[in-house]
């Protein structure tokens, strides 16, 4: 297992040429949010924008779109009809997949999608994506057998211990008792890179590599922190990093921003969106 260091991370981060344009830094398509869970989409989108993605598209139901555009007008809105469960209508997910095909974005799917995630993710998996991040409700749907289609090898799964337990059909206590084994098992089971979140976040690859993050603090133990991380990860994939390098860099930067944020505010009072202010002091 390799511990992540600042030098390891900054050797892999993308650079920005003087003659670059928005197309130089890739695109991210975020499928997130529902009537019941609106804030997750906002955090994903801002995480991606603040991590260098040239274009970020948000596909969601209209109330979520309205919230996100108020916070980040830089986002491109893809308004969708609302399904019976308050989630994106599956037919609109299919239309979105086809519409974005020529833009070759990285897909980020799952945060706040709610109970309808399985049908939406099943449609999106059929798309031709540059990369993929599956988080939150996409993982719950995958664990429940509600996702039709195979997770591609270029995908990155980002479970917290509870989601990891569901994906492995074991208890959360078993995951926490041997986090290294759980991360490796998940990467082998799904044939892709896995980010097992928690104290000492682990990144495991299908090829057997294992990395441990050395940044972060208990101020991250709050709903929404993972949504920011997912957006950051998707943006790094869009800028051409490999799944392994994108996962390592996103985890380290996310934790380093949290450490800076805790010094500026405190572990008790810092909020996930505060991390994006402190990210600029790290990268």
Average confidence (pLDDT) over 4-32? 95
Report the topology of domain 2-10+25-279. Answer: 3.40.1190
Query: How high does pLDDT run on average in the chain?
Result: 96
Three-class secondary structure of residue 57 per DSSP: strand
- Helical axes 90-99 vs 117-124, angle rounded to 10°: 20
Average confidence (pLDDT) over 172-179? 98
Q: What is the pLDDT of residue 176?
A: 98
Tell me which H or E stretch contains 229. Answer: helix 225-238
Q: What is the pLDDT of residue 161?
A: 98
pLDDT at residue 275 tops 90: yes
Q: What are the pLDDT digits (tens) for 80-134? A: 999 988 999 999 999 988 888 888 999 999 999 999 999 999 999 999 999 999 9
Q: What are the pLDDT digits (tens) for 202-223? A: 999 999 999 999 999 999 999 9
Average confidence (pLDDT) over 189-199? 97
pLDDT at residue 53 tops 90: yes
Q: What are the pLDDT digits (tens) for 21-41? A: 999 999 999 999 999 999 999
pLDDT at residue 160 tops 90: yes
pLDDT, greater one: 104 or 266: 266
The structure tokens 């801002």 sit at 46
Q: What is the pLDDT of residue 282?
A: 93
Closest CA to 118 of 159, 156, 83, 152: 83
Average confidence (pLDDT) over 152-160? 98
Q: What is the pLDDT of residue 101?
A: 80
Start-to-end CA span in the chain (Å): 25
pLDDT at residue 150 tops 90: yes
* The Cα angle at residue 142 between residues 141 and 146, in degrees rounded to 5: 60
Q: What is the pLDDT of residue 100?
A: 85
């Amino acid at each position: 297992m390799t511990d992540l260091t600042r030098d390891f991370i900054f050797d892999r981060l993308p650079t920005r040429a003087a003659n670059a344009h928005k197309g130089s830094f890739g695109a991210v398509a975020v499928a997130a949010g529902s009537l019941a869970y609106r804030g997750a989409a906002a955090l994903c989108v801002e995480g991606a924008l603040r991590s260098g993605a040239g274009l970020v598209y948000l596909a969601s139901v209209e109330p979520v779109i309205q919230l996100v555009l108020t916070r980040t007008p830089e986002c491109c809105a893809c308004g969708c009809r609302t399904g019976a469960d308050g989630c994106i209508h599956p037919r609109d997910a299919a239309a979105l997949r086809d519409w974005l095909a020529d833009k070759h974005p990285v897909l980020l799917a799952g945060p706040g999608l709610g109970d309808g995630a399985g049908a939406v993710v099943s449609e999106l998996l059929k798309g031709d994506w540059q990369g993929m991040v599956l988080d939150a409700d996409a993982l719950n749907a995958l664990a429940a057998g509600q996702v039709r289609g195979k997770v591609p090898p270029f995908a990155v799964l980002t479970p917290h211990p509870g989601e990891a337990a569901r994906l492995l059909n074991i208890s959360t206590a078993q995951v926490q008792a041997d986090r290294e084994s759980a991360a490796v098992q998940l990467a082998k089971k799904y044939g892709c890179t896995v980010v097992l979140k928690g104290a000492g976040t682990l990144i495991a690859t299908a090829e057997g590599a294992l990395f441990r993050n050395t940044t972060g603090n208990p101020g991250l133990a709050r709903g929404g922190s993972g949504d920011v991380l997912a957006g950051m990860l998707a943006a790094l994939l869009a800028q051409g990093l490999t799944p392994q390098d994108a996962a390592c860099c996103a985890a380290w930067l996310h934790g380093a921003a949290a450490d800076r944020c805790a010094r500026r505010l405190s572990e008790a009072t810092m909020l996930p969106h505060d991390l994006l202010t402190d990210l600029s002091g790290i990268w």
